[in-house]
Structure 1
Amino acid sequence: MKKNFLIVIFILISVTVLWIANTYNQLVKLNENIKTQWGQIENVYQRRADLIPNLVNTVKGSAQFEKNTLNQIIEARAKATSVSVNTNDLNQNQINQFQRGQDHLNNSLSRLLLIMENYPNLKSTQNFYELQNQLEGTENRINVERNRFNDKVSSFNTYRNQFPKIIIANFFYQFKEKGYFRSQIGSKKSPIIDFSN
């Protein structure tokens, strides 16, 4: 009787340990998927940052252009590339901080592209046209990678927040709930360009 009781206890402990190990390993896998996807996001944002100096130089060489706009773009690029995110702590605050820098850069680029409509000589140059197309393609890539990131975060957060998995997740710092990319307030509004000044 006592032997059977010990065997049952041993089996229960073994099953519990195996379940905990399996849950931990699944959390590791989902967390690594998020880190990998974050790397993809950084990659496409870096591609955009690398295109900007070429775009600015093309604009400078092709038109007597509003220096203020070019300076704003260069400044926004510097701020956007200076934001550092710890991939082991992708919380909502860090995601929002990263996104604010990128949104500022995006607004400056949007303003440049809208203003370019009034410079037909620049618009017609092949270099500008190609750079503009690459920039638009990069913006599409950014959107795709952000959506994929949010999907990975959703999978992770859903898995980690299920009971009793949340108990195991809360024992480990790296398994804290992750943050999402969200639309910024006012992001659906087009930038306003005013040439009256």
Structure 2
Amino acid sequence: MRGANFLMLVVLLVGAALFWAVTLYNRLVKKRNHVEDGWSGIDVQLKRRYDLIPNIVNVVKKYAEHEQETLEKVIQLRNAAQGPHTPGQQSKDEQKLTHALSGLMVQVEAYPELRSNENFIDLQKQLQKIEDDIQYARRYYNGAVREYNTVVQSFPSNLIADKFNFLEAEFFELENPQEAQNPEVSF
């Protein structure tokens, strides 16, 4: 009888340990999926931004022919930012693009006809909306990354994370806090 009780205790402990491991594994999968969902949201907003930039550049070209170098730089940075990146590299590319767009908008101030063009005004509003949406998507993503990384790093879930190759996720950050502000697009 004693052997049966001991065997039952061992089976219960092994079952509890297995249940614990499966629960932690599923928690890690859930958190990783939230990170991937968050990155997808950023990706959608960035695509909307990339699609809008050529329209802005074309409208500006009509009015500001001698700003060609700035326009080409914006398009070049847009094209570079569209490639496949890690969140860290994407963040760096987006910072450069945001800076170039801000510079373009500052240069546009010298063209009163352009500033009053209805199409340009509409494009500015769309860009501002997209920039706000990018900021919200970035907050969601970074929150998901924070939660996921906490689970990956915490004991005892880190044992399961290490065993099944759950790696820490990168934040989508801006290095310069001033660049966290949306580009100035109002006149």
Length-normalised TM-score, structure 1 = 0.87
2:172 pairs, out of 172, 181, 188, with: 181
Contact 2:31 2:148 (8 Å CA) reproduced = yes
- Report the counterpart of residue 156 of structure 1 in structure 2: 148
Q: Give aligned pairs, total.
A: 180
More helix by share: 2
- 1:188 Cα offset (Å): 4.8
The answer to whether the 8 Å contact 2:63/2:111 transfers is no
Counterpart residue number, 2:75: 74
Deviation at residue 182 of structure 1 after TM alignment: 2.3
Does the CA-based 8 Å contact 1:33-1:152 persist in structure 2?
A: yes
Post-superposition CA distance 1:113-159 (Å, at most 9, x none): 11111111100000000001111111111111001101101111112
1:109 maps onto 2:101 in alignment: yes
Q: Are residue 118 (structure 1) and residue 110 (structure 2) matched?
A: yes
Structure 1 residue 189: Cα displacement? 10
* Residue identity opposite 1:38 in structure 2: W
Q: 5+ residue gaps in structure 1?
A: 86-93, 191-197
CA contact (8 A) 1:51 1:131 kept: yes
Q: Which of 151, 155, 167 is the equivalent residue of 2:159?
A: 167
Please tell me the root mean square deviation across aligned C-alpha atoms, in Å: 1.6
**Are 1:59 and 1:65, in contact at CA under 8 Å, matched by a contact in 2?**
no
SS in 2 for 1:170: helix
1:184 maps to amino acid:
E
User: Cα deviation per residue 1:14-40 (whole Å; 9 max; x = unaligned)?
Assistant: 010011001101111110111011011
- Unpaired segments ≥5 residues, structure 2: 182-187
TM-score with structure 2 setting the length = 0.91
